[in-house]
Structure formats: structure tokens, C-alpha cells
Structure 1
Amino acid sequence: MSKIDAIDCQILELLQLNGRITVKELSEKLGLSPTPIFERTKKLEKAGIIDHYAAVINGDKLGKKLYAFAHISLKDHSKELVDIFTSQITKLPQVMECHYTTGDTDFILKILLDDMEMYRDFVLTKLFEMKNIGKIETYLSLSVLKKSNFIPIS
């Protein structure tokens, strides 16, 4: 892990709240001149702490209303077959997150789709086509109570 100080932490927190904030605005909020803010931001980018900048889209406004959490158990756990599964699953745009887990299930997928019919089609045409899946157990979200990409820094 790269060493960051309190100012770096403040920069990261402000950028998480508003990825479009300018260097000038950051410098005003932190009481530093723009040059060191620019240099610190570039250092955080180069270190990979700032991975990328992106717009946060409201899926609800686009009709994406169904969050499904699919618990996937594989039939065979050989490295080769696990790698094939992860390669296939990470290419599906409907899968927002894929977690390789411990416990009774091997993977937990966070999937976002328009409705239940689309989820059914997704399972039939995408998941069931993957030969190594032994079991799929799905949990549907009734409502989203908290949604955040904010990572606490300090």
C-alpha cells in the first residue's frame, strides 16, 4: 500500500463526493495552491489509488429496477474450471459485481436488469449455458436502502 497523508485523504474524500471537482476548487477547499494539489492527484493516480473517474448513472431512470443476487455453486473447483467461469462471468455486462466467496456458495453475483422476465432470460441463456454451474440460488432486492461507492479513507 502506498503511504498517504491527511491531505491526500482529504483529496480522495472530496474526489469521491464529486469526481468533476477542479484542481482550483480542491485547492480552495484545502487551503493549498493548485500546483501541489495537481501533483498529489497525479501521484494518487500513478500509484493506482485513484483507479479511474466515472459518472454514476441512476439505473432506475433507465428502467433498470431489478437487483438480483445470485449465489453460484460450481460442480468442479479445479483452477482451470474456476478460471473459465470467472472469465465468462466477468464479460457479462448485466453482472455489476462478482465476488469469489467462502462458505456454502462459491460466487455471489450482483446483477441489474429491467425486470423478472429479463432475469429469467439471463439465467436461461447466460448462466445455464455455463457448463460448470451446479447450483444457482437467487435473492431479489425488495428495495435499495443504501447505495454507495464511497470508501472511508480516514
Structure 2
Amino acid sequence: MIETENPSSIRLDSIDINIIRQLQNNAKITNKDLASQLELTTTPIYERVKRLEKLKVIETYVALINPVKVGKGLMALCMVRLEKHTKEKLAAFEKHVANIPEVVECYHLAGQYDYHLKILVRDMNAFQHFIVNKLSTNENLANVQSSFVMSRITDTTAVPLTEES
């Protein structure tokens, strides 16, 4: 059963964890198949999934697309440093990158760089176009350090869970 310690942390029991593991592996699994795999009946599984959704433990369901298959074969990781760090300048940069489709992930960092961006584009020409015509149009940009992914070693969206989570 789910217990809440504070608004941002939810304690999950072994059934919740197993439900989440199964859904992370296959979000299209039916409640009936999920109940069968966990040796429970459909109704409690349905109720637990709905509760996990209501508590935003399960935020959404998505289809994961192979970027190469849809013509996005170049993945770049960009480390970005800004000139100014006022609340307004940070918010403006975040709004700017949130509106660029090639930016599929953006993280605000502590440390040497301010942001880490994951970029998916067709090829190096498309990356150059992205840098020149999209990213660098933000006037607060001080430095961009880019690396290009040669191969994916691990790539998962699954959150690792244990009963101590």
C-alpha cells in the first residue's frame, strides 16, 4: 500500500513496485495480464494503478521511438553556460530551449555548466543549423560545449526501484 511521508516522496510497497516495474517494461499491458503476472485479481490491480496515476507516481504513458528509424541519427549532448544568472535570464533561456523541437531533454545544473541539453538531429549539417539558427539566437548564451554520441551503451526511461525507495 502507498504511504506518504511528504508531498514529494511516496513509500511504495512490493505490489506497487512490481506494478510499476511491469508498466515500465510494457505500458500496454492490460490490467488482466498484470493481475495474472502478479497473482492478484484485476480489481485491486486496477485500483492501485489508478491511485499511482492520481498521486502522479505514474505521470504519463508514451511510445518510445527509435530516433534512427525516423531520420534523427545524430545525438549531441551540449553543455551550456550562460552569461547572466538572474531569475529572468534563466527563465528566458528555459523558455527558449523548450520551444526548440531538437532539444529532447534539458537539465538545469549546478557546477561548471548551467544546462545540459540532449539534441536529436538528422546529421552534422542539421546540427550546425540548430546551433547557428536556433540555440545561439538566445542573447544570454556564453558558451556551448558539444559532444556527439558514437553508441548507446545504456538507454532506459525506467526508474530503478527497490522496496526502500
Query: Which residue is equivalent to 1:20?
Result: 28
1:141 aligns with 2:141: no
Query: Which residue is equivalent to 2:4?
Result: none
Give the drift of 1:130: 0.5
Give the drift of 1:39: 0.1
Aligned pair count reads: 154
Of 90, 97, 102, which residue of structure 2 is paired with 1:89? 97
Aligned pairs (5 A) from 1:10-49:
10-49=18-57
Q: Percent identity?
A: 36
Q: Distance in 1 between matches of 2:135 and 2:64?
A: 27
* Secondary structure of residue in 1 paired with 2:18: helix
| Structure-2-length-normalised TM-score | 0.91
Partner AA of 1:64 in structure 2: K
* Unmatched tracts of structure 1, length 5 or more: none
Give the drift of 1:62: 1.1
Of 152, 158, 161, which residue of structure 2 is paired with 1:153? 161
* Secondary structure of residue in 2 paired with 1:119: helix
Query: Which residue is equivalent to 2:131?
Result: 123
Partner AA of 2:81 in structure 1: S
Give the drift of 1:104: 1.3
* Secondary structure of residue in 2 paired with 1:61: helix
- CA-to-aligned-CA distance 1:116-139 (integer Å, 9 cap, x gap): 000000001111110100111111
Query: Which residue is equivalent to 1:110?
Result: 118
- CA-to-aligned-CA distance 1:20-77 (integer Å, 9 cap, x gap): 0000000000111000000000000000000000111111111211110111110111
- CA-to-aligned-CA distance 1:83-104 (integer Å, 9 cap, x gap): 1101111121111111111221
Following superposition, which runs of at least 4 residues in structure 1 exceed 3 angstroms of deviation? Answer: none
Q: Distance in 1 between matches of 2:73 and 2:151?
A: 9
* Secondary structure of residue in 2 paired with 1:43: helix
Q: Distance in 1 between matches of 2:116 and 2:157?
A: 18
Query: Which residue is equivalent to 2:76?
Result: 68
Give the drift of 1:142: 1.1
Query: Which residue is equivalent to 1:53?
Result: 61
Give the drift of 1:3: 2.6
* Unmatched tracts of structure 2, length 5 or more: 1-8
Deviates further, 96-105 or 112-121: 96-105
